[in-house]
Amino acid sequence: METSRFGAYTRRLGSALSLLAPLGILVATSPSTAAAPTGPDVSSWQHGDGRLIDWFSVKRAGHNFAMVKATEGLNYINPYFVPDSLLMRAAGLARGTYHYARPNLPPEPQAALYAAVVLGQNGPLDLPPVLDLENSGGLNPAGLIDWTHRYLNTVQALTGRVPIVYTYPNFWRTAMADTTEFTRYPLWIADYRGNAQPEVPGGWNTWTFWQTTDSGSIPGIAGRTDLNVYSGAQGDLARYANMVGLTGSG
């Protein structure tokens, strides 16, 4: 498991800014031509030996967005969150951020930690906040459902955007008793079985993001990474990520 390294912020931020300085830009302007927007999701695991991700290579490989882990539980902040956020924005990738839920701990302070760390969720290139729910924390379904409502309500109040729920079909069917209480939230589903479409639990009538594999390979990212596709369920990705009006976006 990753551990908190608050002091790493300064070192990682300095490295990212040194890469940005000679570029003289904050947003790349080359629009993607991919029919179905795709992108990785990353955490500290994709930073072996402390190396930074080359987000410009990720963009040149045809990807349109990326999800980056921000926080976990009550005290973990991804030490690479700041440089990843800066560099993926510089490369012109829409940025999603997620909190890994620890339901054995109270939800409201977890939501507050996440909201304080993510550098805003309403600017250009920002996708809505994401709750990564794949651990019950020992709660029974009724308790976990209540925990999830409380977390999502708090994050929406703090960020002003309707959150996305990330989960697995089997986890939702069992730990969440396949509840249909969350269909107002967009679904990011992880299903690696190679089907033409993922399994959609919980009464959702569609998926918004689909994590198709946890062992993909992308130029610019060392080692294996998760790969995702956007369905268009929330409309054009540019609008969903507040990209409309940016030079080169439409």
Instruction: Give tens-digit pLDDT for 179-233.
Output: 999 999 999 999 999 999 999 999 999 999 999 999 999 999 999 999 999 999 9
| Per annotation, catalytic residue among 84, 132, 191, 226 | 132
| Per annotation, catalytic residue among 41, 126, 191, 226 | 41
Q: Give the distance between the most distant pair of CA atoms in the chain.
A: 53
Query: Does residue 214 lie in a domain region?
Result: yes
Type and span of the H or E element at 71: strand 65-72
Query: Does residue 3 lie in a domain region?
Result: no
Q: How much is the pLDDT for 18?
A: 52
Count of Cβ atoms closer than 10 Å to residue 207 Cβ: 20
Q: Which one is predicted more confidently, 150 or 24?
A: 150
Type and span of the H or E element at 170: helix 169-175
Q: Residue 206: exposed, middle, or buried by beta-carbon count in 10 A (0-12, 13-18, 19+)?
A: middle
pLDDT over threshold 90, residue 157: yes
Query: Does residue 22 lie in a domain region?
Result: no
pLDDT over threshold 80, residue 178: yes
CA 106 vs CA 54, 78, 97, 110, 198: distances in Å:
36, 20, 20, 7, 31
Query: Does residue 181 lie in a domain region?
Result: yes
Handedness of CA 28, 45, 221, 168 (dihedral sign): negative
pTM for the model stands at: 0.85
Q: How much is the pLDDT for 119?
A: 79
* CA dihedral angle for residue 23, residue 46, residue 131, residue 1, rounded to 10 degrees: -140
Query: Does residue 108 lie in a domain region?
Result: yes
State the residue range of the domain holding 195.
Answer: 37-240
Q: What is the pLDDT of residues 52-68, one digit of tens each?
A: 999 999 999 999 999 99
Is 84 part of the annotated catalytic residue set?
A: no
Q: How much is the pLDDT for 248?
A: 45
Q: What is the pLDDT of residues 78-98, one digit of tens each?
A: 999 999 999 999 999 999 999
| Per annotation, catalytic residue among 2, 134, 199, 236 | 134
Query: Does residue 18 lie in a domain region?
Result: no
Residue 42's pLDDT band (cuts 50, 70, 90): very high
Least confident of 108-122, 136-150, 180-194, 236-250: 236-250
* Token pair 């999800």 in the structure block, residue: 67
Is 41 part of the annotated catalytic residue set?
A: yes
Residue 215 in contact with residue 204, Cβ under 8 Å? Answer: no
CATH number reported for the structural domain that contains residue 105 in this entry: 3.20.20.80
Query: Does residue 61 lie in a domain region?
Result: yes
DSSP state of 98: E
Is 132 part of the annotated catalytic residue set?
A: yes
Query: Does residue 15 lie in a domain region?
Result: no
**Cα–Cα dist 204/47, whole Å:** 34
Task: Count how many domains the chain has.
Answer: 1
